Amino acid sequence: MAVLERCSQRILVVDDDPYVAMAVRARLEAEGYEVIVATDGRDALIKVFDERQDLVVLDVLLPYVRGLQVLASIRHDPELRATPVVILSVLSSPQDIARAMWDDPDVYLTKPADSYTYWLHPEELDDLVVVVRRLLSVRPAAAEAACQAVKDIPGRVSV
């Protein structure tokens, strides 16, 4: 019988622009994270509540359910409210940022309006990677010990 483990940290990337979502996913996976993508707010809510995410990278302007509504849902749920949320949005005015901060994201980052920028200039994602590393750097000791305990078990399957 195989032993299932999930030792990599899981990040949900929510962006309706497929080029941005793919670029962010590729960069975070290259850093060793497991990445799941949602392309709208409704899909994001399903993935947030059905599967435990270690961090959420969230756009504000999403179809069906806006990003700030997704953030508010996370912050109002007792089991999810501690989940780190990074806003990654083209909205960069002080008013937009202040409105988003009202819903208590951990970090607000702006992204370029041109969705191809991340493919042409991958270094534009460096700030996001630094923030993700910082927010996920404190891994619960019990989870780390559990992952270490099953590393040498034959037949284990990583998920």
Locate the domains of the chain by residue range.
Answer: 9-112
Q: How far is CA 152 from the centre of its chain?
A: 29
Helix, strand, or coil (residue 143):
helix
Architecture of domain 9-112: 3-Layer(aba) Sandwich (3.40)
Residue 159 banded pLDDT, cuts 50, 70, 90: very low
Q: What mean pLDDT, rounded, does the chain reach?
A: 87
Query: Rounded to the nearest 5°, which phi and psi values hold at 147?
Result: -65, -40
pTM of the model: 0.84
Note the pLDDT of residue 140: 54
Angle at which helices 94-102 and 67-76 pack, to 10 degrees? 30
Query: Per-residue pLDDT tens for 26-41?
Result: 999 999 999 999 999 9
Terminus-to-terminus CA distance in the chain, angstroms?
A: 15
Note the pLDDT of residue 37: 98
